[in-house]
Amino acid sequence: MFCNQCEETAKGLGCTVRGVCGKEGETAGLQDVLIYTLKGLSVRNLAAMKKGGGNPGAGRFVAESLFATLTNVNFDPARFEEAIQEAACIRDALPPAGNAEPAACTWAPASPEAIAAKAQEIVAARENADPDLQSLRDLLVYGLKGIGAYSHHAAVLGYEDEEVMSFMQEGLAATLQDLSVDEMVGYVLKCGEVGVKVLALLDTANTGSYGTPAITTVGTAAGARPGILVTGHDLKDLADLLEQTAGTGVDVYTHGEMLPAHGYPGLKKHSHLVGNYGGSWPFQREEFERFNGPVLVTTNCLVPPKDSYRDRVYTTGLVGYAGLKHIGASPDGKKDFSALIEHAKRCKPPADLSRGDLVTGCAHAPVLAIADAVVGAVKSGAIKRFLVMAGCDGRYSGRDYYTRFAKALPADTIILTAGCAKYRYNSLGLGDIGGIPRVLDAGQCNDCYSLVVIAQALAEAFAVGINDLPISYNIAWYEQKAVLVLLALLSLGVKDITLGPRLPGFVSPGILKVLVENFGIRGIATVEEDLERMVPGN
């Protein structure tokens, strides 16, 4: 196997035996073959679309498949074997794309041996490739995985965008062509542009479905009734579960990236959505154990479970792990959570892990509603600087850098955040500036879109460019949705982003040079050095 898609990749270079995440070599190979088959499917579908035909549902399948291969989503080899067969089936139903089709258009997953041989061939091919081109292909495919994830979330709420669906296929097809570095850079930047579009689409889907978020204080204490813990990012799963648990005597808690759900009127209206439990995904093995009740894993963020709580973990959607119970959807998209609810009733209430109150729901609408106060505070000098500290949390012990950085920030600074990185500092009690919380949590990783809208509004209010605002970017990454968010920021012209805790293993020295020279990207140093650079004279 070879996988280098996340921040925790072995030795910062690539996992070659078993993933640090727990992904086995067999699953990694199947994921590679699935992506390969999707590339062939994309070539054929794009050619057919040009002629006015094609399979309009293929984009949705591509999105789901890309999402399934994202870090910590699906560890189950059987699910990938099925997906490969389905991809080949969709591809083979499309007319050939011409006389010189790439092999990915015609290769057949005829047997497990053929699939295993293809997986080995894919790893060997990347070893022989030009490092800069391979790096750009990786960057593009990982960005596309982010698009796949976000477009899937929007699609389950009934929101789709044709350009987004077709770009996923264009990007995949591009990786089969013999393109120059400049041409590949063009695709990577386009990926960022489409990333902005899909983030906006998901923002519309979430607010259209559950209302405009409000700045909300969320408790973290455990209640006295049995509970269900919901983790991942899928608000629809949470909404459906809340409907089905109403009046059952079972409470619902959010974990990790589900915290922002408490800000949406359509979700917070349920009084049995009682609070947030635990921290971010890397700590789930201890937290799920202590929760005592069942856990619903709705999207990525699954860590291979311990035996002590394995029977209480339910996966749904694209999440998979051999041996765990899976709740699928009926053909009309409905999910029946009754087994999970009955399971909860047999369980003890959660052990208390309270960390005080948390504030969330600081999306673009509620923050822009107090824009006058924010602009006034900047003008009066009460707010000297904003620090965008969005992104991911992870297992790597060096991530305590973000806690130390947040603690060391002067009291006249505001942290703008989204994603699970915030768990490193959202319970530090950093207070407020004239009623404006010092940690403005816009929401999930996808809600980085809100941060962009807020920054653009500030730029307009002060009549300056986005890079001339008193904003510094100290972003933490882990998986491929964060790669897409980074590309989205670059496509909007944001410069001088500090990225940590380690730079991506898939970025070659040549491509890193491009990123440094054109965008001013750099890695973290010490808290003291970075603070001096980002908050000069603090």
> Which residues make up each annotated binding site for [4Fe-4S] cluster?
3, 6, 15, 21
* β-pair partners for 275: 253
Q: Residue 306 in contact with residue 292, Cβ under 8 Å? A: no
**Residue window 261-300: x/- pattern of binding to ligand FS2, with contact defined by CB under 6 A:** ---------------------------------------x
- The position carrying tokens 């980002």 is 534
Closest CA to 143 of 198, 194, 191: 191
* Minimum distance from residue 237 beta carbon to ligand FS2 (Å): 15
H-helix or E-strand spanning residue 168: helix 162-174
294 part of the interface to ligand SF4, by CB under 6 A:
no
482 part of the interface to ligand FS2, by CB under 6 A:
yes
231 part of the interface to ligand SF4, by CB under 6 A:
no
* Minimum distance from residue 60 beta carbon to ligand SF4 (Å): 24
**Chain CA centroid to CA 36, Å:** 22
Which one of 98-106, 112-120, 324-332, 473-481 is the stretch in contact with ligand FS2 (CB under 6 A)? 473-481
- Interactions with ligand FS2, residue window 145-164 (CB under 6 A): none
What's the Cα-to-Cα distance from 321 to each of 24, 78, 136, 238, 357, rounded to whole Å?
11, 9, 30, 20, 33
- Choose, by CB under 6 A, the member of 20, 179, 371, 512 that binds ligand SF4: 20
- Residue 9 or 298 having the CB closest to ligand SF4: 9
* Minimum distance from residue 457 beta carbon to ligand SF4 (Å): 36
* Minimum distance from residue 391 beta carbon to ligand FS2 (Å): 6
Of the CA atoms within 13 Å of residue 14, those in its CB half-sphere come to 15
| R_g of the chain computed on alpha carbons | 23
Helix axes 181-210, 162-174, angle to 10 degrees: 150
- Residue 135 or 444 having the CB closest to ligand FS2: 444
- Interactions with ligand SF4, residue window 136-155 (CB under 6 A): none
5 part of the interface to ligand SF4, by CB under 6 A:
yes
* β-pair partners for 388: 416, 473
Q: Residue 519 in contact with residue 512, Cβ under 8 Å? A: no
Q: Residue 410 in contact with residue 384, Cβ under 8 Å? A: yes
* Minimum distance from residue 16 beta carbon to ligand SF4 (Å): 9
Q: What's the count of helices (H) and strands (E) in the chain, helices before strands?
A: 18, 16
Q: What is the four-CA torsion angle of 400, 406, 410, 413, rounded to 10 degrees? A: 160
* β-pair partners for 439: 415
445 binding partner (options ligand FS2, ligand SF4, none; Cβ < 5 to 8 Å by kind): ligand FS2
* Minimum distance from residue 29 beta carbon to ligand SF4 (Å): 11
Closest CA to 260 of 422, 413, 374: 422
- Residue 11 or 51 having the CB closest to ligand SF4: 11
Which one of 5-13, 206-214, 410-418, 462-470 is the stretch in contact with ligand SF4 (CB under 6 A)? 5-13
Q: Please state, as a whole number, how many other Cβ atoms lie within 10 Å of the Cβ of residue 187.
A: 22
Token output for 180: 């120059």
* β-pair partners for 15: 3
313 part of the interface to ligand SF4, by CB under 6 A:
no
200 binding partner (options ligand SF4, ligand FS2, none; Cβ < 5 to 8 Å by kind): none
Burial class (CB in 10 A: 0-12, 13-18, 19+), 204: middle
Which one of 37-45, 270-278, 479-487, 508-516 is the stretch in contact with ligand FS2 (CB under 6 A)? 479-487
Helix axes 25-50, 162-174, angle to 10 degrees: 110
Closest CA to 386 of 360, 359, 367: 367
* Minimum distance from residue 126 beta carbon to ligand SF4 (Å): 13
320 part of the interface to ligand SF4, by CB under 6 A:
no
15 part of the interface to ligand SF4, by CB under 6 A:
yes
- Choose, by CB under 6 A, the member of 69, 245, 444, 474 that binds ligand FS2: 444
Which one of 19-27, 114-122, 367-375, 516-524 is the stretch in contact with ligand SF4 (CB under 6 A)? 19-27
- Choose, by CB under 6 A, the member of 132, 161, 240, 257 that binds ligand FS2: 257
Which one of 6-14, 56-64, 203-211, 246-254 is the stretch in contact with ligand SF4 (CB under 6 A)? 6-14
331 prior amide bond cis, ω within 30: no
Question: What's the rounded Cα separation, in Å, for the pair 317 and 155?
Answer: 13
481 part of the interface to ligand FS2, by CB under 6 A:
yes
Question: What's the rounded Cα separation, in Å, for the pair 202 and 449?
Answer: 9
- Interactions with ligand SF4, residue window 51-110 (CB under 6 A): 71
179 part of the interface to ligand SF4, by CB under 6 A:
no
End-to-end CA distance of the chain: 47
* Minimum distance from residue 54 beta carbon to ligand FS2 (Å): 30
Residues in the chain: 538
20 binding partner (options ligand SF4, ligand FS2, none; Cβ < 5 to 8 Å by kind): ligand SF4
Closest CA to 285 of 304, 258, 299: 304
* Minimum distance from residue 501 beta carbon to ligand SF4 (Å): 14
List residues binding ligand FS2 (CB under 6 A): 233, 257, 300-301, 391-392, 419-420, 444-445, 478-479, 481-482
List residues binding ligand SF4 (CB under 6 A): 3-6, 8-9, 15, 19-21, 23, 28, 71
